[in-house]
Amino acid sequence: MTQWVENPTGGRDRGPVAVLRAWAEVLVRPRRFFRTGVAPGDQAPGLVFAALVVLVEELGRFAVVELAERGLVSTGPFAYPAIGGFSPGIAALALLGIVVFVTPATVHLSAALQTVLLIPVAPDRGGISETVQVLCYAMAPCVLAGLPSPELRVVVTAWGAALYVVGTAVIHELRLGVAAAVAALPVAIVFGYGFRGVDALLTLAG
């Protein structure tokens, strides 16, 4: 049985219960969570959290495709191009690549971009490690982004974007308006493109 392991550097606890607690806390009390749950240099729990969110989201998409092929559900207005429709072996490899390689690479590149955008407005900003963690935990609502509802996807990606703006404001000591402005591009990459929030919005608009 997996046990919690206290992080000796003062970061978040490890283990499945800690992941569930972090998920609930960031949704319910985001400001408090970002103040107390993000520690310099403690990226590992955040990256695990993000990987699990993406795993659940992509498994949801895969399940929808499998059920749709059996005529049990409808994908509605969405095409499901990711892992759905592949053979189980290829789908598993694709899912592994998304979770293990694509997700952390996207998170780190977006955090590096965010750090550059923060330079002129946040002299007392936190480090890139804190930005990585904020981005990871802000993904919490997107566990539901794989379901075939454009309305739901717009809600959860907008919620994730809002959490990221709040976390950016807290960690980098910025006003919300400034945080929203400097976070716009990373938000577009992760929530608009990565979790397909823009696609859902365009579907509703059309």
pLDDT averaged over 10-residue windows placed end to end, the chain, 206 residues = 38 79 96 93 93 92 75 66 61 86 96 96 91 98 92 97 98 96 97 93 88
Domain positions in the chain: 16-205
Contact predicate 134/34, CB 8 Å: yes
* CA gap 142, 178 in Å, rounded: 24
Rounded to an integer, what is the distance from CA 69 to the centroid of its chain?
28
Give the pLDDT of residue 4.
32
Contact predicate 172/179, CB 8 Å: yes
Residue 7 tokens, joined: 């992080």
Calculate helix-pair angle for 176-187, 103-118, nearest 10 degrees.
Answer: 140
In 3D, which of 22, 67, 24, 25 has the Cα closest to residue 46? 22
Give the pLDDT of residue 141.
98
Q: Is the dihedral of CA 35, 157, 57, 60 positive or negative?
A: positive
In 3D, which of 138, 133, 132 has the Cα closest to residue 112? 132
Give the pLDDT of residue 161.
98
Give the pLDDT of residue 1.
31
In 3D, which of 51, 35, 11 has the Cα closest to residue 136? 51
